[in-house]
Copies of this chain bind each other. A is one copy, B any other.
Amino acid sequence: MVNPDLVKERQNSTLDVDKLNLFFGQNLLLSTERYKHILNLKKRLTNQIKSLYDENYENLERNDKYELVLRKSIELIEFGLENNIDNYLEYTYIIGEVMGTEKQIFGLHFTMFSISLDLWSTPEQKTHWANFMKQNGIFGTYIQTEIGHGTYLRGLETTATYDSQTQEFILDSPTLTSIKFWPGASGKTCNYAIVMAKLIIDNKEHGIHAFVVQLRSLENHRPVPGIELGDIGKKHAYEGIDNGFVKFNKVRIPRDNMLMRFAHVSPNGEFKRTGNEVVMYACMLIMRGILCMFASLLHSISTTIAIRYSCVRRQTADPSGIEPQIIEYQTQQYRLLPGLATSYTNFFATVNFRNILNEFKKSSENFLKIDSNEIAKLHAISSGLKAIVFEDCLKFAQLNRLCCGGHGYSASSGLQPVIQEADAGCTYEGDNTVLYLQTARYLLKSAQKGFSPHLLPQNFQETKDSKVFVRFEKYTSLFEKLFEAKLREVSERMFYLIEEKNMNQYDAWNNSSLLLVETARIYVSVFVIYTNLKSLNDHSKMECNQNQIVLEELFELYLLYGIVEKFSIHFLKLELIDGTRMTDLQTKFFELLKKVRVNALCLVDAFGWSDSNLASSLGVYDGNVYEKLFDYAKNSLFNKNDVHKVYDKLVKPYVETKAKL
């Protein structure tokens, strides 16, 4: 039986959930047909492979967790092959039925390892490695970070020294800090890797390059001689995954194992640049595109859990003696609903970014023929977008957890893996602060050149002429102005520090860096806003007016939240908004919270997450949260016996001594 409060919520909503879900799916997977097909596969999968949680995952010790994750990961690969899934997004979306919000183990194999092989190989290498992978059971990973360096790529200390006598590269880890650290599944699982190392020929350094390196024997999985490697121990999450360390002790690999699409080393050791190095970024772009979508989906998961629970949970009687659903409380709405709005806007922003990227990829022969300006712009957006999407995901996941009170702290809430993934995501693939600074660097340069730094979605003119655009122009123009004012402020500050304070460029940069970060954050927010206008305009073509109204309300909430909360200090300080107007907008914001609250449950229903994907006692579709919570408790590992086995050993002697005193 469905919880009566949820029944009522669903009845009272004005939303056509199925239609909105289709729009969501069509955006996610590019066509409604494909989406429906994938939904069917999801169902098939649940019948075929048990979910991690049905196999008692969380109660296992780490070795057993590893085994289970590995087993599932292999079964899931098989499932993917059987069903012709070769798109990683689709794959990841499907396997949520089994993995919940935990990670399968071959993430890097399908992403960084494959993408870098694809983008950085010469055509011959591409064919060679593709065949090699097919013929051998290869599990690949991507090895870049070292103990001493993550952010600063040029600081990597691992060397690849060319020996023209044998036509080999010699990989070496000369110091403690040069030991590779962190790469996913590199400790125990993978047998091959792309390794980033500093190329040295005849004592001359030629920058960082990518090498294909065998880590373990294909016969017996033993480490290749000269390679010392292992797991790095526990992390804040991913117990089932073996992030690893790798130490090279003069390991020789053939010359051909350097990926040479952009730079070439001839047999006798001549080094030649053969392409635009900047295209190295393409790999990062694609990776970030994927990660951003995952983060926005993850965000929608914690939102679903917290909103469902807030519609079920009742607490503290009103004067008539009735305890309201906690979602009725303003403080609760204030913490939940901007997160809901953001999970929608970030989803549409990342979907649009993916589309833009796909377009570029197509029109540029796999990123070979686009100009550096364009890729710099894309890179700037991707950096800031990755940072903001994970930042939002973390912030709201944490708020969502707090909004669930005590029960939100039970592992059964399913919120912890979301928080931890979001937290990790603020660091991996680029530390968020560093990423914002990269975006800012591009913005400053553009400002100097008088470039407009906006990256508009495709066909934006159409959006610009649309009703949606006109409707929101009063807000969007505010954000535009804020961005311009901020960019001016930071440019002027840099100028002041350099010209008046005689600082060098580097110090001026550092002394402006918080301002730079804020400018970048506002810039990506403008990108999020534009792309959402496009998506809203797309949606308006579906002629589902009732959903259009709700989506626009939600978008307005996002905008108002930006004005009265996120960026309020900037709006006020730069006098783009005065105190009185701010108060009016706050009032509007609170009114809007109430409106959005009416459809909140159905808005999370529209994401379409299944119970097995959410893996949450509090987020279940039928709202029977207390039953689930209590079931979870009863199944605790400790409850096998009435009296825990340690009683005799520890408690009893203590109680007895005490009794004798």
Q: Which residues of A line the B interface, CB within 8 A?
A: 58-63, 66-67, 70-71, 74, 134-139, 145, 147-152, 154-155, 176-177, 179, 181-182, 187-189, 191, 216, 218, 220-223, 230-236, 242, 245, 315-319, 323, 328-332, 334-335, 394, 398, 401-402, 405-406, 408-412, 416, 423-424, 426-428, 431-433, 437, 504-506, 510-514, 517, 568-569, 572-575, 579, 582-583, 590, 626-627, 629-630, 632-639, 642-647, 649-652, 654-659, 661
Q: Shortest distance in angstroms between A508's beta carbon and chain B's nearest beta carbon?
A: 11
A-B contact pairs, 23 of them (CB 8 A): A58-B234, A63-B645, A66-B646, A70-B646, A74-B654, A147-B629, A151-B405, A154-B317, A155-B315, A155-B317, A188-B638, A189-B644, A231-B639, A232-B636, A233-B637, A235-B411, A236-B411, A319-B504, A329-B513, A330-B512, A408-B427, A409-B424, A514-B590
Chain B residues whose CB sits within 8 angstroms of the CB of A426 once the complex forms: 402
Q: Is the CB of A331 within 8 A of B517?
A: yes
Chain B residues whose CB sits within 8 angstroms of the CB of A568 once the complex forms: 569, 573
Looking across the interface, which residue of chain B has its beta carbon closest to that of A641? B188
Chain B residues whose CB sits within 8 angstroms of the CB of A232 once the complex forms: 410, 632-633, 636
Q: Is the CB of B405 within 8 A of A427?
A: yes
Assembly CA distance A659 to B188 (angstroms):
20
Chain B residues whose CB sits within 8 angstroms of the CB of A182 once the complex forms: 406
Residue of B145, B221, B629 touching A652 (CB-CB under 8 A): B221
Q: Is the CB of B235 within 8 A of A316?
A: no
Q: Is the CB of B177 within 8 A of A626?
A: yes
Assembly CA distance A188 to B647 (angstroms):
9
Assembly CA distance A61 to B638 (angstroms):
11
Assembly CA distance A331 to B515 (angstroms):
9
Q: Is the CB of A188 within 8 A of B517?
A: no
Q: Is the CB of B579 within 8 A of A575?
A: yes
Q: Is the CB of A155 within 8 A of B323?
A: yes
Q: Shortest distance in angstroms between A235's beta carbon and chain B's nearest beta carbon?
A: 6
Assembly CA distance A333 to B61 (angstroms):
39
Q: Is the CB of A644 within 8 A of B155?
A: no
Assembly CA distance A319 to B319 (angstroms):
67
Knowing that A135-B661, A151-B316, A176-B627 touch, tell me 12 more A-B residue pairs with CB under 8 angstroms: A67-B650, A70-B650, A147-B629, A150-B406, A152-B316, A152-B323, A181-B406, A182-B406, A188-B638, A242-B638, A319-B505, A402-B433
Q: Is the CB of B643 within 8 A of A222?
A: yes
Among A176, A242, A504, A658, chain B packs the most CB atoms within 10 A around the CB of A658
Looking across the interface, which residue of chain B has its beta carbon closest to that of A218? B655
Q: Is the CB of A513 within 8 A of B330?
A: yes
Q: Is the CB of B651 within 8 A of A221?
A: yes
Assembly CA distance A319 to B510 (angstroms):
12
Chain B residues whose CB sits within 8 angstroms of the CB of A659 once the complex forms: 135-137, 218
Chain B residues whose CB sits within 8 angstroms of the CB of A408 once the complex forms: 427
Chain B residues whose CB sits within 8 angstroms of the CB of A335 once the complex forms: 433
Looking across the interface, which residue of chain B has its beta carbon closest to that of A579? B573
Assembly CA distance A147 to B236 (angstroms):
28
Q: Is the CB of A236 within 8 A of B646?
A: no
Q: Shortest distance in angstroms between A101's beta carbon and chain B's nearest beta carbon?
A: 14
Chain B residues whose CB sits within 8 angstroms of the CB of A643 once the complex forms: 188, 216, 220-222
The answer to whether residues A331 and B644 also contact, given A232-B410, A405-B151, A506-B318 and a CB cut-off of 8 A, is no
- Please list the 5 inter-chain residue pairs (A to B) with the smallest Cβ-Cβ separation, ordered nearest first: A137-B655, A137-B658, A234-B411, A61-B61, A231-B638
Q: Is the CB of B230 within 8 A of A315?
A: no
Assembly CA distance A242 to B640 (angstroms):
13
Q: Is the CB of A406 within 8 A of B651?
A: no
Residue of B145, B231, B330 touching A636 (CB-CB under 8 A): B231
Chain B residues whose CB sits within 8 angstroms of the CB of A152 once the complex forms: 315-317, 323
Assembly CA distance A638 to B70 (angstroms):
14
Q: Is the CB of A328 within 8 A of B579?
A: no
Q: Is the CB of B661 within 8 A of A134?
A: yes
Chain B residues whose CB sits within 8 angstroms of the CB of A635 once the complex forms: 233
Q: Shortest distance in angstroms between A268's beta carbon and chain B's nearest beta carbon?
A: 31
Looking across the interface, which residue of chain B has its beta carbon closest to that of A639? B230
Chain B residues whose CB sits within 8 angstroms of the CB of A432 once the complex forms: 402
Chain B residues whose CB sits within 8 angstroms of the CB of A330 once the complex forms: 510-514
The answer to whether residues A651 and B155 also contact, given A398-B423, A633-B245, A635-B233 and a CB cut-off of 8 A, is no
Q: Is the CB of B572 within 8 A of A644?
A: no
Assembly CA distance A308 to B648 (angstroms):
44
Assembly CA distance A330 to B490 (angstroms):
14
Q: Is the CB of A582 within 8 A of B590?
A: no
Q: Is the CB of A655 within 8 A of B136?
A: yes
Residue of B316, B317, B431, B656 touching A405 (CB-CB under 8 A): B431
Looking across the interface, which residue of chain B has its beta carbon closest to that of A649? B67
Q: Is the CB of B626 within 8 A of A176?
A: yes
Chain B residues whose CB sits within 8 angstroms of the CB of A59 once the complex forms: 61-62, 234
Q: Is the CB of A188 within 8 A of B147?
A: no
Assembly CA distance A197 to B623 (angstroms):
27
Q: Shortest distance in angstroms between A510's beta carbon and chain B's nearest beta carbon?
A: 5
Looking across the interface, which residue of chain B has its beta carbon closest to that of A71? B650
Chain B residues whose CB sits within 8 angstroms of the CB of A412 once the complex forms: 233-234
Assembly CA distance A524 to B62 (angstroms):
44
Q: Shortest distance in angstroms between A103's beta carbon and chain B's nearest beta carbon?
A: 14
Q: Shortest distance in angstroms between A313's beta carbon and chain B's nearest beta carbon?
A: 9
Residue of B137, B150, B405, B582 touching A654 (CB-CB under 8 A): B137
